[in-house]
């Protein structure tokens, strides 16, 4: 099974940015095969990675729903057809594949797309060494259980008490829903010059959250994003990128080693 890394947290905290940086890290270090999963209906992981996407899982829902007769091309069953379309949804990028959930057109619930996504990630989990999942903001995706098992979850927070409160709710919900999350770490992103305040550190301590590290607020990231340049193209010496990579060196690398040893 793929070693699965997922990102959760409040809106706009940097989940997609850090998910993109993680994909780039795994690929650059040649740690194994990688599937990047954009599980946010408002998908934008592809733009952080600089990849074009033609077709999403949400569109499969529309196709199947609109297929009233239940007759699929080439005499395929519905299940066969779903599988066939799923393979087509996989975007082959440089050193990794990308799967985008997307949103079903019009109104309607995401249950089907979520179901397809869960099945897809289950099925694909055996074909990759790593799965990196960028989730939508908030907590709902946790209760929808879009993935069965996560080895490492990063709760991404902005540098505010409210952000840490939200990260704590993620921790609580994982416990309440008994989700299969191996470990949860907090990352505080967009930390201003002065670093973390005493209040923030106290809040982290109060909630017994494990802080993986902090990522500084960085003008260059902001600038690249505003100019529509894929964030994975920021120079390696960029402060935010290099601080985040240190977190991955400290937290992710040793866990991958253990995971690989177990799998031998």
Q: Does the protein bind Mg ion through residue 22 (CB under 5 A)?
A: no
Window contacting ligand ATP (CB under 6 A); options: 61-69, 73-81, 88-96, 212-220 = 212-220
Residue ranges in 10-49 that form contacts with ligand ATP under rule CB under 6 A: 11-17, 40
For ligand ATP, give the closer residue by CB, 8 or 181.
8
Judged by beta carbon distances under 5 to 8 A according to partner kind, the member of Mg ion, ligand ATP, none in contact with residue 62 is none
Question: How many residues sit close enough to ligand ATP to count as binding (CB under 6 A)?
Answer: 19
**CB count in 10 Å sphere of residue 126:** 8
Q: Which one of 122, 145, 222, 260 is in contact with ligand ATP (CB under 6 A)?
A: 222
Q: Least distance in Å: CB of 87 to Mg ion? A: 25
Q: Least distance in Å: CB of 79 to Mg ion? A: 31
Burial class (CB in 10 A: 0-12, 13-18, 19+), 243: middle
* Cβ-Cβ contacts under 8 Å for 181 (sequence gap 6 or more): 6, 150, 153, 174
Q: Does the protein bind Mg ion through residue 43 (CB under 5 A)?
A: no
For Mg ion, give the closer residue by CB, 133 or 152.
133
Cβ–Cβ under 8 Å, residues 125 and 1: yes
Q: CA angle, corner 50, sides to 49 and 52, nearest 5?
A: 115
User: Can you name the residues that pair with 180 across neighbouring β-strands?
Assistant: 149
Q: Least distance in Å: CB of 218 to ligand ATP? A: 4
Judged by beta carbon distances under 5 to 8 A according to partner kind, the member of ligand ATP, Mg ion, none in contact with residue 217 is ligand ATP
Q: Least distance in Å: CB of 77 to ligand ATP? A: 36
Q: Does the protein bind ligand ATP through residue 215 (CB under 6 A)?
A: yes
Q: Does the protein bind Mg ion through residue 16 (CB under 5 A)?
A: yes
Residue ranges in 155-184 that form contacts with Mg ion under rule CB under 5 A: none
Window contacting ligand ATP (CB under 6 A); options: 6-14, 27-35, 54-62, 91-99 = 6-14
Q: Least distance in Å: CB of 102 to ligand ATP? A: 14
Q: Which one of 99, 218, 238, 245 is in contact with ligand ATP (CB under 6 A)?
A: 218
- Residues forming contacts to ligand ATP in the complex (CB under 6 A) are 9, 11-17, 40, 137, 189-190, 215, 217-218, 221-222, 225, 240
């Amino acid at each position: 099974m793929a070693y699965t890394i997922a990102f959760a947290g409040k809106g706009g905290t940097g989940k997609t940015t850090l998910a993109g940086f993680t994909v780039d890290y795994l690929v650059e270090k040649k740690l194994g095969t990688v599937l990047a999963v954009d599980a946010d209906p408002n998908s934008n992981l592809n733009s952080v990675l600089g990849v074009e996407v033609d077709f999403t899982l949400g569109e499969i829902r529309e196709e199947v729903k609109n297929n009233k007769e239940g007759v699929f091309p080439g005499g395929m069953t519905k299940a066969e057809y779903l599988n066939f379309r799923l393979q087509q949804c996989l975007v082959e990028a440089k050193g990794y594949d990308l799967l985008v959930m997307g949103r079903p057109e019009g109104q309607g619930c995401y249950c089907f797309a979520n179901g397809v996504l869960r099945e897809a990630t289950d099925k694909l989990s055996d074909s990759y060494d790593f799965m990196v999942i960028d989730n939508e903001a908030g907590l709902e995706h946790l209760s929808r259980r879009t993935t069965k098992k996560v080895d490492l979850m990063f709760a991404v927070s902005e540098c505010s008490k409210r952000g840490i409160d939200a990260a704590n709710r993620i921790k609580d919900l994982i416990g309440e829903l008994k989700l299969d999350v191996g470990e949860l770490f907090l990352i505080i992103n967009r930390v201003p010059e002065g670093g973390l305040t005493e209040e923030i550190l106290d809040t982290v301590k109060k909630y017994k959250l494990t802080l993986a590290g902090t990522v500084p607020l960085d003008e260059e990231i902001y600038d690249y994003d505003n100019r529509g340049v894929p964030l994975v193209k920021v120079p390696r010496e960029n402060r935010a990128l290099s601080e985040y990579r240190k977190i991955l060196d400290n937290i992710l690398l040793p866990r991958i080693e253990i995971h690989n040893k177990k799998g031998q």
